Structure 1
């Protein structure tokens, strides 16, 4: 069976998709399976020129929005690149971004399409202050979900929470399948260590949706209570200067280390003690599974797919979003009790190995792919 995994970003880009798809390829290396990866290089900009129409809505009603204009130009670029680069036919295409799925179905209308929706672009834009709820760009982006449902033979997503989020925007939400991202255990090598000062770490894109302002305020409370710690920030993004200024203003700059973007944070994540990320929204939160496989104690917010990974008090701690004091209390609890911290980390690691292994995800996908084998 000839498979194409259609990504949007190149595989080396950060994110849940890149943490899984490239590592799947070796699991499909057999006489029965042949799998290729495809994505849009960053250098491809403003190449596409063709007129575009969708079958379920008229996108031109929203074309005054700069966000919609950029989205549609990227879609045209993806179409142009697909037609230029893909010459051979495939039995099945599995797309991991709406632009990738819609472009593939346009170019290969007779090839079955499985579409995984990994996250909510419009919700991220709202939380990051880029668009307003109900505005033209928001209406356009949620209309895309209905087009995807119409075009794809099967819709998937990564958590029950995100399936519920999609419910108002599709006709048959109950038939959306759920396959969480899977992670190759060989990438994660927990290391026994004993840090005299608790080492806190977060890994994310530096945008408002990740709630790092809340984390900094919580850390300021911890410092005010006399607790020593080091906070490691792995990632980059548009609000890094704002976060550095906030750390200085809160008096925690000396305790905070900004690393910038790192391609493989899992290589040194095991040397830290506590993973903390007070996101304002997460479809799944792949980085929590990665931190769990690195045997770190987990602290996250009770939003989106995070509580599907963290059972509060069992394999990590959940706190309400937008609550620095609650986050400070949770951090204090695991910082002051190394035995409790270890038990949380061990339980988190065991759950991640059981529920979020790459092998489990691959097996579920193979079963799904084989349903289309007779149609190939």
Structure 2
């Protein structure tokens, strides 16, 4: 939210709901972006909302995987993510999108600003994400990985 406040003309859609919503609504007012912030709430299929975005910010501190990133990639949307545990495992900085350190507001803002200002960069990462998703998480890749693991354990 603070990054959005620093980027002229940027809008923020927050998908999801929970006990932090009231605090986030207050923060949007405090940051002067209440008119540029939409609280979408919980949706079963976030990919459809993500597909309407120019970029996805994923500023998580603790994340075992990063399903939001995978959903954004499925939607063909570029991502700026923190180097949280899960994303660091599969997300390649400057190849699949932009990674920044955890709690690095300047880095997050800079990454989002770069995507806003550079349509070629945005298009490059928008194409790279789905390719990475397919290459790591497609049904065939996952089944092959399981089969390889089973073969290794069984010694065949």
Counterpart check, 1:247 vs 2:24:
no
Runs of 5+ unmatched residues, structure 1: 1-215
- Determine if contact 2:4/2:11 at 8 Å carries over to the other structure: no
The Cα shift of 1:364 comes to: 2.8
Query: Secondary structure of 1:218's partner?
Result: helix
Q: Moved runs in structure 1, 4+ residues, more than 2 A?
A: 307-310, 362-373
What is the match of residue 301 of structure 1? 82
Counterpart check, 1:272 vs 2:53:
yes
Q: 2:5 aligns with which of 213, 220, 239?
A: 220
What is the match of residue 37 of structure 2? 256
* Length-normalised TM-score, structure 1: 0.39
Q: 1:336 aligns with which of 117, 135, 143?
A: 117
Report the Cα distance in structure 2 between the residues aligned to 1:365 and 1:221, rounded to whole angstroms: 45
Cα 1:239–1:334 shift into 2, 3 Å: same
The Cα shift of 1:349 comes to: 1.4
What is the match of residue 233 of structure 1? 14
Counterpart check, 1:359 vs 2:148:
no
Cα 1:333–1:370 shift into 2, 3 Å: same
Report the Cα distance in structure 1 between the residues aligned to 2:83 and 2:110, rounded to whole angstroms: 15
Structure ranking higher on relative contact order (CA contacts 8 Å, 6+ apart): 2
Runs of 5+ unmatched residues, structure 2: none
- Determine if contact 1:221/1:325 at 8 Å carries over to the other structure: no
How many pairs were matched up?
Answer: 154
- Determine if contact 1:284/1:304 at 8 Å carries over to the other structure: yes
* Length-normalised TM-score, structure 2: 0.89
- Determine if contact 2:46/2:71 at 8 Å carries over to the other structure: no
Q: 1:287 aligns with which of 64, 68, 81?
A: 68
The Cα shift of 1:257 comes to: 0.5
The Cα shift of 1:322 comes to: 1.2
Report the Cα distance in structure 2 between the residues aligned to 1:342 and 1:309, rounded to whole angstroms: 20
- Determine if contact 1:289/1:309 at 8 Å carries over to the other structure: no
Cα 1:369–1:250 shift into 2, 3 Å: same
- Determine if contact 2:13/2:38 at 8 Å carries over to the other structure: yes
Instruction: Give the CA RMSD over aligned residues.
Output: 2.0
